[in-house]
């Protein structure tokens, strides 16, 4: 779960702009259809891409928690 929260994100603006948070592989934009998107790369993690806090109930009944480093979040199970 923490790995998913830490993963780089994207944000679509309108019909043509695609903002890519830092951390995407350089070739990620090359996979998009040519001429369809104006790709705007960002450096590092940024608050612009939102924030997440999550709690997971695992199959064995244990809990896990994670917070978003973009917002200084932390996860703790008491």
- Using an 8 Å Cβ cutoff, are 10 and 21 in contact? yes
Give me the number of domains the chain comprises. Answer: 1
Structure confidence by residue, pLDDT tens digits, 32-54: 888 889 999 999 999 999 999 99
pLDDT of residue 72: 82
Please give the model's pTM, rounded to 2 decimal places: 0.77
| Structure tokens given for 76 | 């703790």
Residue 32's CATH number: 3.60.20.40
| Structural domain of 67 | 2-71
pLDDT of residue 43: 94
Whether 77 is in a domain gets the answer no
Nearest CA to 6 out of 63, 45, 43, 42 is that of 45
Whether 78 is in a domain gets the answer no
Whether 51 is in a domain gets the answer yes
- Using an 8 Å Cβ cutoff, are 18 and 32 in contact? yes
Whether 65 is in a domain gets the answer yes
Structure confidence by residue, pLDDT tens digits, 1-31: 888 898 999 999 999 999 999 999 988 888 8
Whether 76 is in a domain gets the answer no
């Amino acid at each position: 779960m923490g790995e998913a929260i830490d993963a780089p994100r994207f944000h679509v603006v309108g019909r043509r702009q695609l903002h890519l948070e830092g951390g995407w592989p350089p070739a990620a934009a090359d996979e998009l259809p040519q001429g369809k998107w104006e790709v705007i790369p960002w450096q590092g993690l940024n608050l612009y891409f939102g924030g997440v806090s999550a709690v997971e109930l695992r199959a064995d009944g244990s809990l896990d928690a994670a917070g978003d480093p973009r917002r200084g979040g932390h996860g703790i199970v008491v």
